[in-house]
Structure 1
Amino acid sequence: MDPYSMLSYVDRMPPKRTSTSAAPAMTQAAIQQLIADGVAAALEAQAATMARAVGLIRWFERTELVFSRSNCAEENKVTFATGTLTDDALSWWNAYAQPIGIEQANKITWTELKRLLTNKYCPQTKIKKMEDEFYGLTVKGNDLKTYIRRFYELAVLCPNIVLNYEKLMEAFIGGLPQSIEGNVIASKPQTMEEAINIAQRLMDQIIKRDSVQETNDHK
């Protein structure tokens, strides 16, 4: 409940009678405290959700790094990944596998496992907010590094948001400043790594040019 609806709810509350006389009306300070408590609870819940989301991203990244280094076969990825689950996540996996059997459960793809875990630990309302952020994500100033990190985080947490690699790269380039977007497109990068390297090189040129211009302006 947001602060405004909370205040509206408090205003609509009928007076509570403990005797023949009405209880004292709530003071403005009491109302403000209710609002503050509601806001604090909302922020705490949001922080917990973000902590789970970030933890999930890190687990995805670490697991995929192991896959890459060990040349893990596609059919073995889920078996390996679920073998590293602990606590609540392990309980969730056991509950998922029990009705169909562990062998059948291990036959799902790594992509499907990521989708299931994301749905479990990132509420749909949060996913919707992240999807909206993804579509509106752009480079702030010259901070390309932060943009890249957040772009990948959102892409991992919203696996259904971009259906193929080409669309992923198109979305990445679309969030670049206009000053370099056209040049990146003209370079026709074939991979995300190429697109990032080209964007970084162009951004470095802009930063260097701006620095020289600033120095000349102060002379």
Structure 2
Amino acid sequence: MSTSEAPAMTQAAIRKLVADSVTTALEAQAANMANTDNTTRPREAPVARQCSYKELMSCQPINFKGTEGAIGFIRWFERTKSVFSCSNCTEDCKVKFATGTLTEEALSWWNSFAQPIGIEEAYKIT
């Protein structure tokens, strides 16, 4: 009875097989990248810059008086989020800029909230 077993591979043969496979894969990847348009490569994320109040206002936020009810509050909230996105507003400016759109009763509420803890601490809330 004959067996058709393959001879055992030596460590050197295994290392060469792995090295050849890695070399082939690297060459194929390099060729693929050379033939690929640069627009498909990931782009670096832009560095966030602090927006100014003027930039924020150019995106036309709406004011909130505090008497508009739940629907008015939701509209103000959603519009404010949109304005933050439009103006690239950073997290550390959002409260400060959002409170700049408060008027009448809403502004009175904000002032009564911020006064005891200090305006800088109030701006740090999330």
How would you bin the TM-score normalised by the shorter chain? 0.3 to 0.5
Higher relative contact order (CA 8 A, sep 6+): 2
State the structure with more CA Rg.
2
TM-score, length-normalised on structure 2? 0.46
TM-score, length-normalised on structure 1? 0.27
